[in-house]
Structures are given as structure tokens and as C-alpha cells.
A and B are shown apart, each in its own frame.
Chain A
Amino acid sequence: MTSTAITSAGAATSEGGQELQSRTDVSQKALMREAGAVLRMSESDAAAMADVATDVGEDQSMIINMGPQHPSTHGVLRLMLELQGETVLRCKPVIGYLHTGMEKTGESLTYMQGGTNVTRMDYLSPLNNELVFSMATEKLLGIDGEIPERAQWMRMLLSELNRMSSHLLFMATNGMDLGAVSMMLYGWREREEVLRFFQKVTGLRMNHNFIRPGGVAADLPAGWRDDVLSLLDMLPDRLAEYEVLMTGQPIWRERLQGVGVITQSEAIALAATGPILRSTGVAWDLRKDMPYLKYRDVEFDVVVGVHGDAYDRYAIRLQEIRESMRIVRQILDKMPLGDYRIQNKKVTPPPRGRIDESMEALIHHFKIFTEGFKVPEGEAYVAIESPRGEIGCYIASDGSSVPYRMHVRAPSFVNVQCLPHMMRGGLVADAVAVISSIDPVLGEVDR
């Protein structure tokens, strides 16, 4: 561990109550809470908790900081760990280092500009953020049933490709965290291929602001089909290489199997979603269970695990890349022709060419880009399945052209709460594996 500051147990910390308090300052009840006794576990489980030492003397444990500057913390996640030897007794994530007030910023950006803000939250799946924001806006506008077919299929195509790129990056970082450094290169390499396609479609590798209220910003470029096909032809072999490199390897399995276990009831109580929930055997995927876009029209399987450990989460993500590829192939077959955004003058800016010839088009263009379009009063919550779980957008509108309140339910923010329960009683070396298996994106945790 490169950047750890060791404080002896009992020493006063400078951050006050935000930090992990030393054992002597914490009541027994609070210790049990931190131990997860609140998670409605069976009596036998609760009794088993007792064998992780609770009567640790002041001089037997120490609190160390892991992060916020630590390569395995995926950004600026700071974990305070109480260790007895190499065993993690308690753990507390301390977040907020990347807090930039994006929800506050969102209250001063019009619905048109809002996409540039939300896309920077979960920077590994920006298109999903834009999608959920756009869907919430469309719901408030009452146009969610009128989005053109092609726009919906394009959104789905981009969303699934984004899931692939995000999971490919997970493969890379998960490998790197566990010492499979060559995997890092391979994962980033494949992700880059997906991003190259995004660049061709949206103009940017990340932070696209491409999915907008009313549809998408532009039509697919010529030759997009060949690009996607070459991507789909390339990936299966590469994924097979990952299997050889990692899945079957005894060292890999030893590092992940049985590490960071979470049970079904714990995952539900902690509102964990995405691969974490599915690793416990709950087949919950919003694409399947509360379908949006055109997910009813494509065939895919929800991948679930059995043990709820880090290995299952790894395997689920690997398999989800394949499922996404399956969906993308079906999208290629079904992509209809037509408009890529809604033809509603109040929401969609007029085509560039019309501005020169139509006064009305010029006015609409000016109005939309200066004051934005007005959204009727109301509030709506829309949720979709991002690579990390349920991402939701709650918008309260007061009838003006900026959201009165814009809240994003970030999957990583909620999933990070699982860390203390996954780490308890494990080894500090496994902490890295556990963080990695959560796949948190700190931009989204802190917003």
C-alpha cells in the first residue's frame, strides 16, 4: 500500500465524525451495526459474526487509510480500515473527494444543456446517464410515447455498446488490481475500439451529450454497420483470450472465489443493484423486468451468479459483454429508417438549412438555444439499467426551462455501502479485490 497514513487506535482524527471512529469511542451497539447486524440475518449468521473478534484491545488493532490516492481505489475512494494483523475488522468508505455539486449545477442548466452535466457523472457509461436524463425530461414533457423508432433503436445500440465498453474497462481494472497487469492492456485496447466507434458517431470518445431530450443529436454516420460488425467479429476471440488468461486460472480463482461474499437478503436490504445483486442469484435486470426502449423486442438472458462473491461478479460482467453483443446483433437487423429525433418544434431545434430561409425556424432556434424549452410542472422518476445497476433520474419541474431539482440516483453511490459488509473479516489484500468487484465510478459516487 503506497499511501497509507497510520494512526494508532484512539488518536483523534481531523475530520471528526466523517471518519471511522476508534473502537474505544464506539458503543457495542454501533459496532454490531457496522458489523451488519441490521441486515436481518438469521440468528446463526449473527452468531457467526461473533467469531470476528469484537473484544479487541486498544493496542491490538489499528486504523489505516486506504486511499484516497491509491491506484486500486478507482479514483478517490478513501477507505478507513481497522485491522487486526491482516484481518479487516471494520471498514468505512469516506467519500466526497470528487464532489463538484453537479446536482446544484443541474438546477441552472436548461434541459438542453443538462446532458452535458449528467454525462460527466458516470464517466464510464456516459450514454446511460444521458439516456436516463433524457427519458425523465421526456416523461415530464409527455412526449415519451412519441420518440421515433429509429431514435429508440439508436439509443439502445449506444447503450449496449456502452455497457460493453464499461465492462471491458472493468475487465482491465479488475485484472490490474489483482496483479494480472497484461489484462489491463487488453481490456483498455478493446474498450478503445468501442470508443472509436463512439467517436465516429458522436464526435467524442466520452462525455458525448449525444442522447438528448427528444431523440439523439445526429443520425448514424455512413458505414456504421460495418464498424459495428467488425467490432462484433473482433470481440468473441478476445473474450475467449480473457477466459484463458483469467477465468480458468487457479491463481485467479483463488484470488476471487469466496471473497467479498454478500447474500441475497443483504444485497436487497442495501439496495445493491446490477451485477452485485445478480451475483447473489436474483435475476433482476430493469431491461427485462421493467423494460424501456425496445428491450421487449430483443432476446437476451439475464446472467446471474450463485455465490455472491467477487468471482461471480467478474463472471457476470464477462458474460454480460456477450449478451450485449447478442443484443447489438439483433439491433443491426432491426434498425429502422426514419427520424432520429422527434419532430416537435418546441423541443427539437430546426435543421441548420431551414434557418436561412424561415423566420420561424430562426426564432425557434434562437429560443431553444437561449432560454431553452419549457417543461410542464410535475415530477418524475425514471430508472434504467446502467452497467453498474439502476441509474435513476428524479426531476422536479416548476414549469420553467431549467429543472427545479435534478437528482440522479447513482448506482455506485448506493453500491459502495456494500463494502463494509463484504470486507468484514477478510484479509486486507482482498480489500483490493472487493473494491474492484463493486466497480465503483467515483464521479458518480460524489457527483
Chain B
Amino acid sequence: MTDSIDQSVRFVSVPDYIPTITGLYADGFTMCVDLTAVDYLLHTNRNVPSGVVAQRFEVVVNLLSMAKRERIRLRLQVAEGESVPSLFDIHPSTEAMEREVFDMFGIVFDGHPDLTRILMPEDWDGHPLRKDYAQGRIPVQFKGAAS
């Protein structure tokens, strides 16, 4: 999955994640429009550019430069259990987005000020958007109610 379809995409790994974002910020990519993730559990040996080691998770960051009217997308490879530095200090807009990714994929963001579940209840088991979390497999969990 390397096709970017005339959109600029950059692959990064966890160590050069923050430097890349900082560099892009200085280049005018001042708005972090979106941050999400994909669980490539079923495609761990997908095609990525040479030099990039494909991992199970990909955190996808969409940056926007309003001055240049350009978008750039970062695809950060994250192994299972690996934590990612939070972008909160550079892009405060990622607060809710990183919480959502944590909630849905269980990816931990180091340095996030308030890393709690955002959409699911606090005591929920599992991370629903992971590919090994099948739909309908887990009985409905509601606080204090029979399930």
C-alpha cells in the first residue's frame, strides 16, 4: 500500500516523528487537521517504500499549510505495544484526536496531558477499531446492567 494518489505522503518512524513534525511546522504546516490510525494486522507485510519497516499500526497525521494551500500526510509506523510521543505541545488540536486513537486502538501517547478514553466508557475492555476486535463478539458492556 504505497499508492498515495497525487497526495503527498511521508513515512516516518517513531524516533524521527517529532523532529519531522517540528520541521514541517517551521515550513508552514501549522494546522494539524486530523490524526487517526489504521490497524494493519491483516496486512503486516504490505508494500511500503524501501527503508521503511511496516509495523502493525500506522498513525496517520494530516497537516495543512494554509499559506501554501498544501496538505501533507505522515504515516507513522507503530509496533504493537510501542508508545508514540504526543503532538500536544506542537499541535494542541490533537488532544481529542490522540485520545480517540488511544481509545480505539490502544496506542499510548507519551506526554499527552489527559490520556483517557473519550468515546467508550472508562471501564471498557478492549479497543474497538483493532482488527482482532470482532464486531458482535463481546457482549454489550454497560455499567451495572446485566449483559
Contacts and interface: CB of A to CB of B under 8 A. Distances in A.
Nearest to B104: A103
A264 B34 CA distance: 19
B120 A96 contact: yes
B96 A398 contact: no
Contact of A390 (B33, B100, B122): B33
A380 B38 CA distance: 13
A381 B7 contact: yes
Given A289-B69, A380-B5, A381-B34, A108 B135 contact: yes
Given A39-B92, A99-B119, A271-B31, A407 B3 contact: no
Nearest to B62: A381
A154 B121 CA distance: 41
Contacts of A413: 96, 100
A378 B4 contact: yes
A17 B96 contact: no
Interface stretch (B15-23, B77-85, B109-117): B109-117
Interface string B1-37: 1011101000000000000000000000011111010
Nearest to B43: A398
Nearest to A33: B113
Interface in A264-285: 268-273, 282, 284
User: What secondary structure prevails in chain B residues at the interface with A?
Assistant: loop
B100 to A, nearest CB: 8
Given A17-B114, A268-B30, A394-B60, A381 B73 contact: yes
Interface residues on A, range: 35 or more
B91 A269 contact: yes
A140 B5 contact: yes
Interface residues of B, number: 45
Interface in B89-113: 89, 91-93, 95-97, 100, 104, 113
Nearest to A96: B119
B134 to A, nearest CB: 10
B53 interface: no
A140 B7 CA distance: 11
Contact of A378 (B1, B88, B120): B1
A104 B92 contact: no
Contacts of A139: 5
Contacts of A357: none
Contact of B135 (A104, A142, A390): A104
B117 A271 contact: no
Contact of A417 (B31, B89, B96): B96
User: What secondary structure prevails in chain A residues at the interface with B?
Assistant: mixed
Contacts of B42: 398, 404
A376 interface: yes
Contacts of A414: 93, 96-97
Interface in B32-73: 32-34, 36, 38-39, 42-43, 46, 60, 62, 66, 69, 71, 73
A404 B119 CA distance: 21
Contacts of A96: 117-121
Which of B43, B69, B118 gathers the greatest number of chain A CB atoms within 10 Å? B118
Given A99-B120, A392-B62, A409-B33, A271 B93 contact: yes
B92 A38 contact: yes
B33 A101 contact: no
Contacts of A15: 121-122
A351 interface: no
Given A15-B122, A407-B36, A409-B33, A268 B66 contact: yes
A390 B62 CA distance: 12
Interface string A96-140: 100101011100100000000000000000000000000000011
A377 interface: yes
A95 B42 CA distance: 31
Contacts of B5: 139-140, 142, 378, 380
Contacts of A95: 118-119
Nearest to B89: A38
Contact of A379 (B1, B32, B88, B122): B1
Interface of A: 15-18, 30, 33, 38-39, 95-96, 99, 101, 103-105, 108, 139-140, 142, 268-273, 282, 284, 289-290, 376-381, 383, 390, 392, 394, 396, 398, 404-405, 407, 409, 413-414, 416-417, 446-447
Given A101-B135, A381-B71, 17 more contacts: A16-B123, A18-B122, A96-B121, A269-B30, A269-B91, A271-B31, A271-B32, A271-B91, A383-B33, A392-B62, A398-B42, A398-B43, A398-B46, A409-B33, A417-B93, A417-B96, A447-B119
29 contacts: A15-B122, A16-B122, A17-B116, A17-B122, A18-B116, A18-B118, A30-B114, A33-B113, A38-B88, A96-B119, A104-B128, A105-B135, A139-B5, A140-B5, A142-B5, A269-B91, A289-B66, A377-B3, A379-B3, A380-B4, A381-B7, A381-B34, A383-B71, A398-B1, A398-B42, A398-B46, A405-B129, A407-B36, A409-B33
